[in-house]
Amino acid sequence: MILALDLGTTAVKAAVVSAQGELLAWDAEPQPLIFTPDGGVEQDPHAWWATLTRLVQRLLADAPEHRDALRAVSCTAQWSGTVAVDASGEPLGNAILWMDTRGAPDIAELVGGFPRLMGYNLFKVRTWLHLTGGAPARSGKDPLAHILYLRRAEPDRYRAAHKFLEPKDYLNLRLTGRFASTYETLALHWITNNRDLRRIDYHPTLLRYAGLRREQFPDLYPSTAVLGAVLPTVADEWGLPRGAQVVAGTPDLHATAIGSGGLGDFQAHMALSTSAWISCHVPFKRTDIWRNLATLPAGIPGRYFIANEQESAGACLNWLCGVIWGACPPPDAYAQLDAWAAQAAAGTGGLRFLPWLVGERTPVENPHVRGGFCRLSLQHGRPEMARAVLEGVALNARWLLAAVERLAGRRLEPIRLIGGGARSAVWAQILADVLQRELWQMAQPQMATVRGAGMLAAVAMGWTDWQSLERSCPVQARFTPDPARARLYDAMYREFRARYRVESRRWAS
């Protein structure tokens, strides 16, 4: 059996997963975010470790029959974060997360220069696209931006850093004592040559562009590499068998793609988590610079997947909970929102919700646009507000789906639905109607990421193969589009796109 760990943005999960990808036991705890006035979003790595320690100890205490069968540990974590550590592995301050925008000025300086297209120097962007499949995001949310921000704003911390690690790799360091990362994890640093999936490595030209040194980063391995045994001190503290092996693992987007069960090419999934994305594995390297999409190395070695992200999905529901209940929502808050949304008619009597609460990344990169309710009136109540939020996220996803299918070169159907938001049958039906695609609600959809981490480890340990795992992922329910509601959502989608143009001009001015 495998101990699978998922360090999410707002929740941490630990699970016991069988060699066949079956979820046997799990536990979770929320994880707070630290916001700074200058656009920073951080978390404390020490708090990550303390939370994981409590979870694993509690999980194994509640399911002692699994303890002695644990042979591997596999981590996944939020992607595109930065933990600066010293030579002993001690974190130098808080981790900088994927929502942090403080490095945007540094990226603008890095990528700019004449001749320029869409803010990028043509010669540099051609090299980035050729070698990596993409380029640093001007929003400043990539790890490269975090590192350049530290170099400018916190030079003492930058100089003291022995390595800059992704969150997953920090966990593996704590587990094994090794500074290591994986091919696909470092992709958003935009300093690796991704053309040959069997030999991904740092590229001297890209390092020179950024003014960074190879020794500032960990060695790279396939996601299925076994890094070694859990440190005895950790094994004893957590209650693990000594000798359990740590698999290098993969970030959350990649693990989710595996946990969705869509392991073959063009088998699409949509994740409804804090953010949202629509993705699938593909057999080619391709980039759409106009829509901020690219195929990047996948968690399955030797494969690519379509990388994208819409910044706010479940985060919009979290925000609505705060609006309605304040800092202490009831335990069944999401169930109440779901029940209210089911009471409201499609279209919510004209009420609209724009989900760009922290800007947007794909299919447009616009960190400045903002959302909220439109056409709110006295006739609207909680049912209409709840449904409008679900519809707004779904309309944004339709925009993304069109871009993803254009890059994939084909219609994607069915779409496997996973993530915490996928537990809502109301939201699943709205998505089917808006996207006009058959949706498969996967069993235990909120556990797809941690299950994917376990599935990866099962292959890494040689206990199974990808084809067998694909057959073992059960579908909980299927949702087909309703023609009448689909026509209504067609009209709402056109209105939604027009509203974006208005809001983007407003915030640009």
What counts of helices (H) and strands (E) characterise the chain?
16, 28
For each of the domains in the chain, give its residue range(s) and CATH number, in order of start.
2-101+143-258 (3.30.420.40), 261-442+474-508 (3.30.420.40)
DSSP class of residue 500 equals H
| Nearest residue to 267 (alpha-carbon basis) of 417, 400, 452 | 417
CB-neighbour burial class of residue 471 (10 A; exposed 0-12, middle 13-18, buried 19+): exposed
Instruction: Determine contact, residues 412/401, Cβ cutoff 8 Å.
Output: yes
Largest Cα–Cα distance of the chain, in whole Å? 64
Instruction: Write down the mean pLDDT value for the chain.
Output: 95
* Mean pLDDT, range 338-352, rounded to an integer: 97
* Mean pLDDT, range 113-131, rounded to an integer: 93
Alpha helices by DSSP H, listed for 380-437, are 382-408, 425-435
Evaluate if residue 257 carries a pLDDT over 70: yes
List the strands of the sheet with 281-282, edge to edge.
281-282, 304-307, 293-297, 287-288
How many angstroms separate the Cα of 215 from the Cα of each of 207, 209, 335? Answer: 11, 16, 49
Share of the chain above pLDDT 70, in %: 99
pLDDT in tens, 387-431: 999 999 999 999 999 999 999 999 999 999 999 999 999 999 999
**Which pTM was predicted?**
0.92
Instruction: Determine contact, residues 4/22, Cβ cutoff 8 Å.
Output: no
Rounded Cα–Cα distance for residues 134 and 125 (Å): 8
pLDDT for 471 = 86
In the structure, what pLDDT confidence band is assigned to residue 508 with cuts at 50, 70 and 90?
Answer: low
DSSP string, 434-482: HHTS-EEEESSGGGHHHHHHHHHHHHHTTS--HHHHHHT--EEEEE---
DSSP string, 234-291: HHHHHTPPTTPEEE----HHHHHHHHTT--SBT--EEEESSSEEEE-EESS--EETTT
Residue listed under structure tokens 């981590």: 75
Share of the chain above pLDDT 90, in %: 92
